[in-house]
Chain A
Amino acid sequence: MPESLDFPLETRDFPDFVRRRSGPMLRTAWLLTGGDWALAEDLAQTALSEVWRRWDRVSAIEAPDAYAHKVMVNTFLRWRGRQWTAEISTGRFPVAATTGGFAEVDLRESLRQALRRLTAKQRAVITLRYFEDRTEAETAAIMGCSVGTVKSQASKALARLREQPGVADILVGGMQ
């Protein structure tokens, strides 16, 4: 006999959850995937599929938002051997590198290029620490690594970002 003849209650509020979390999850995914909306959507929806499968338990806990976020970050890190860390041909030369000037450079494009030079783990640390303003301890808990790893990854990532024209200027002088 089936255990229940009713439509499972716990699935009813899932669509609302997805709508509510769509923006924040996509923005984080955009950074994680190095500024690629298609990959970001893929990542976020994959994470949500994972959440959906455990929704009866997830919706009962206090913070399904945090859980979904953690699943997404870890899904991303698990798949780092896959396409998001593959070399991405941009089809155009980095403007910043060739012109030297940064006034005409699209900052978003510079950031994208800078992010793509980072490892998956470095991108995750940068996103959690500086975009989401999480502490080192929180970042470590989400990524399942030590605080020491968070620190070293953050400093390695910063060192790489300093090498990116356009981004480097902002790191020194701030946003205008």
Chain B
Amino acid sequence: MTREEQHLSEMLKRTVPEPPLELSADRMTVRQANMSRRPWLAPAFAAAAVVAVAGGGIAATNLSSPSSPAVQQTSAQQTSAQQTIAHQSSAQRASAQQSTNTVQATLQATPSTSSGASLRRFVMPNVVGMSSAQAIAALNAAGAAGTIELTIQSSTGPSGQPVPLPVPKGTVVAQYPAAGTVVRGERVAPNPARTAAPN
């Protein structure tokens, strides 16, 4: 190293300031440029998660964004949740009927500290195998904000008897988006009127 290089090295080490902030695992963000390479993320605009529960399936959707796309999203995701169950127990598919009803749970919104105007993003956790309560807790921990909608689907046979389940009742058997994908959620500090879930 030349003397000039040594001087540069010393200057850099003494001039770089202490970071005024700390990185945190629940503030993972991703730039939009990165996301545009995954066009399938676009439909995930308002979605936090879809989870399907055996014997009481779940579709969970973040409804905190403008209401109508979220509603459409919900029905589309219910379909995918149903497909998941059908796929999982194909022997039962012909005879099983599914009924759905909807529960809503509120995710705690942790405001992003980086900039109030930025779109909130978080990395979708793996909630498969959890109970619905655990799944909600995990989504909270991941930084999902807003309201989540859980669609419970129960599978019953033609005469109403319960269909045997391959996993414990109430277990999440599928989720959307997949674990590890980066989800763009709602705006941080949005207009309160728009954060209310429809109905």
Contact = CB atoms under 8 A, between A and B. Distances in A.
A52 B28 contact: yes
A22 B28 CA distance: 12
Contact of B12 (A2, A44, A79, A130): A130
Contact of A46 (B8, B15, B31, B115): B31
Contacts of A82: 31, 33
Interface residues of B, number: 50
B26 to A, nearest CB: 8
Contacts of A126: 8, 12
Interface residues of A, number: 53
B38 to A, nearest CB: 12
Interface string A79-90: 100100000000
Given A22-B22, A107-B15, A6 B7 contact: no
Interface of B: 3-31, 33-34, 88, 114-115, 123, 125-126, 128-130, 134, 138, 166-167, 171, 173-174, 179-180, 182
Interface of A: 1-2, 4-8, 11, 14-15, 17-19, 21-23, 25-27, 30-31, 37-38, 40-42, 44-46, 48-49, 52-53, 79, 82, 107-108, 111, 126-127, 129-131, 133, 158, 161, 167, 170-175
B173 A2 contact: yes
Contact of B15 (A17, A19, A111, A129): A111
Given A31-B16, A37-B19, A131 B9 contact: yes
Nearest to A130: B9
A35 B22 CA distance: 16
A1 B167 CA distance: 9
Given A45-B27, A170-B11, A174-B6, 17 more contacts: A2-B174, A6-B129, A19-B25, A37-B19, A42-B31, A46-B29, A46-B31, A49-B29, A52-B25, A53-B123, A111-B15, A127-B12, A130-B8, A131-B13, A171-B4, A173-B7, A175-B14
Given A7-B126, A7-B129, A38-B115, A21 B23 contact: yes
B166 to A, nearest CB: 6
Contacts of B14: 175
Contacts of B18: 23
